[in-house]
Structure 1
Amino acid sequence: MADHPHLDTIARIAAHSGLAPADPLRQPLAEARRRAWDYQMLWNTPMPEIGGVAETSVRAPRGNAIRLRIFYPDRRRSDLPVLLYFHGGGFVLNGVDTHERLMRLMALRSGAAVVGVGYSLAPELRFPGQIEEALAAVAWTRTDAVSFGLDGTRLALGGDSAGANLALTSMLALRDQGKPAPLLGILFYGMFSAELDSPSHRAFGGGGFGLTTERMDWFWSQYLADRAQRDNPAAAPLLADLDGLPPQVVIGAGLDCLLDDSLRLAAKLETAGTEVRLSVYEGVPHSFVQMSAHLAPAAAAIAEAADALGRAFSRRPQRSAA
Structure 2
Amino acid sequence: MPLRRGLLDPGVAELGALAARAGLAPADPLRQPLAEARDAAERYHAFLNGPALPAEVREVEAVGPAGSLRLRLIRPVDGGAGGGDAPLPVLIYFHGGGFAVNSIDTHDRLLRLLARHGGVAVCAVGYSLAPERRYPHQRGEALAALRWVVRHGADHGLDPERIAVGGDSAGANLALGLALDARSEAGPPLSFGMLLYGMFAHDFDTESHRLFGGGDYGLTTGRMRWYWRQYLGRDAMTRDPGAAPLLADLRGLPPLHVAAAGLDCLRDDSLRLARRLEEANVPHRLVLHDALPHSFAGMTRHVRAAEDAVIQAADAVRLHLRR
TM over 0.5: yes
Aligned residue for 2:239? 231
Aligned residue for 2:258? 250
Q: Distance in 1 between matches of 2:220 and 2:194?
A: 23
Aligned residue for 2:88? 80
Q: Distance in 2 between matches of 1:16 and 1:153?
A: 47
Partner AA of 1:41 in structure 2: A
Aligned residue for 1:68? 71
Q: Distance in 2 between matches of 1:101 and 1:223?
A: 26
Aligned residue for 2:270? 262
The Cα RMSD (Å) is 1.4
- Contact map agreement 2:172 2:199 (CA 8 A) in 1: yes
1:125 Cα offset (Å): 0.4
Q: Distance in 2 between matches of 1:246 and 1:40?
A: 31
- Contact map agreement 2:49 2:108 (CA 8 A) in 1: yes
Q: Confirm whether residue 192 of structure 1 aligns to residue 186 of structure 2.
A: no
TM-score (norm 2): 0.93
Partner AA of 2:59 in structure 1: E
Q: Distance in 2 between matches of 1:68 and 1:179?
A: 20
Q: Distance in 2 between matches of 1:131 and 1:175?
A: 14
Q: Distance in 2 between matches of 1:174 and 1:90?
A: 23
The number of aligned residues is 313
Flag the 1:270–1:11 CA change in 2: closer, same or farther, 3 A: same
Q: Confirm whether residue 57 of structure 1 aligns to residue 70 of structure 2.
A: no
Partner AA of 1:58 in structure 2: A
Q: Distance in 2 between matches of 1:181 and 1:258?
A: 29
Partner AA of 1:88 in structure 2: G
Flag the 1:38–1:77 CA change in 2: closer, same or farther, 3 A: farther
Superposition pairs of residues 194-209 of structure 1, within 5 angstroms:
194-209=202-217
Q: Which of residues 9, 12, 22 is equivalent to 1:7?
A: 12
Partner AA of 1:172 in structure 2: L
Q: Which of residues 35, 47, 58 is equivalent to 1:30?
A: 35
1:48 aligned counterpart, secondary structure = coil
Q: Distance in 2 between matches of 1:20 and 1:183?
A: 37
Q: Distance in 2 between matches of 1:296 and 1:203?
A: 25
Aligned residue for 1:319? none
Please list every run of 5 or more consecutive structure 2 residues that lacks an aligned counterpart in the other structure: none
Aligned residue for 1:100? 108
- Contact map agreement 1:159 1:187 (CA 8 A) in 2: yes
1:296 Cα offset (Å): 1.5
1:37 Cα offset (Å): 1.2
- Contact map agreement 2:142 2:178 (CA 8 A) in 1: yes
1:116 aligned counterpart, secondary structure = strand
Q: Which of residues 35, 39, 47 is equivalent to 2:44?
A: 39
Q: Distance in 2 between matches of 1:282 and 1:125?
A: 35
Aligned residue for 1:168? 176
1:46 Cα offset (Å): 3.6
Q: Distance in 2 between matches of 1:282 and 1:310?
A: 24
1:180 Cα offset (Å): 3.9
1:38 aligned counterpart, secondary structure = helix
1:131 Cα offset (Å): 0.5
Q: Per-residue CA shift, 1:163-208, capped at 9, x if unaligned?
A: 0000001111121446543100000000001101100000001011
- Contact map agreement 1:109 1:307 (CA 8 A) in 2: yes
Partner AA of 1:159 in structure 2: G
1:288 Cα offset (Å): 0.5
Partner AA of 1:256 in structure 2: D
- Contact map agreement 1:73 1:107 (CA 8 A) in 2: yes
Q: Per-residue CA shift, 1:97-136, capped at 9, x if unaligned?
A: 1101001011111211111110010000000000000100
Percent of pairs identical after alignment?
51
Aligned residue for 1:19? 24
- Contact map agreement 1:2 1:8 (CA 8 A) in 2: no
Q: Distance in 1 between matches of 2:277 and 2:233?
A: 28
Flag the 1:3–1:107 CA change in 2: closer, same or farther, 3 A: closer
- Contact map agreement 1:46 1:293 (CA 8 A) in 2: no
Partner AA of 2:121 in structure 1: A
Q: Distance in 1 between matches of 2:180 and 2:137?
A: 15
Q: Distance in 2 between matches of 1:277 and 1:188?
A: 12
Q: Which of residues 289, 293, 297 is equivalent to 1:281?
A: 289
